[in-house]
Amino acid sequence: MPFNLDDIDRSIIAALVEDSRLSVRQLAERVHISRSAAHKRFTALVESGAIRKFTAEVDRAALDMSVTAVVVVKIGERPWPEVRDELASLPFVEKVQAVSGDIDALVTVNAPDNTALSQVILRRIHEVPGVVSTRSLLILDEVEGSRPGSHRH
């Protein structure tokens, strides 16, 4: 569903991507509109689903989750929604994504150490009915790029 966002809506989203704790007054100041206009637009963005949720971005190391891997998963004949939901419910699984090409899914796993990581991959993921095979890619270094809404086209 297209959201029909204008430049002001995009500016509000960009400001919230940068700092989701901004008050309506601060939003209004940042995008140079009245407080009531900022409140109306903010509410419309949330109600339309253009802004889905507000969350804290936490450093994995602060949670003692220092090992991350992307697990490439090949899925057999079981329906995707069932496999997806079961994979997403496993401990240490951050994200499950369906992908195109010769693989079926990418599963991002964060764990406190290599032992826990291998337990999740070798035991838990492989035990999910429908998972045919996996290949694991250990993340050695990463840097954040721009997040949706943080720049203009």
> CA 93, 98, 101: angle at the middle one, nearest 5?
130
Q: What are 64-112's pLDDT values in tens digits?
A: 888 999 999 999 999 999 999 999 999 999 999 999 999 999 999 999 9
Q: What are 27-77's pLDDT values in tens digits?
A: 999 999 999 999 999 999 999 999 988 887 777 778 888 899 999 999 999
Task: Round to the nearest angstrom and report the end-to-end CA distance of the chain.
Answer: 19
Contact (Cβ atoms closer than 8 angstroms) between residue 117 and residue 100: no
Confirm whether 121 is domain-assigned: yes
Asked if 75 and 115 sit in the same domain, the reply is: yes
Contacts of residue 71, defined as CB under 8 A and 6 or more positions apart, other chains included, come to: 106, 107, 108, 109, 121, 125, 134, 135, 136, 137
List, in sequence order, every beta strand (DSSP E) within the chain: 67-75, 93-98, 105-111, 131-138
What domain range is 18 assigned to? 7-48
Please tell me the total count of domains within the chain: 2
What is the pTM (predicted TM-score) of this model? 0.73
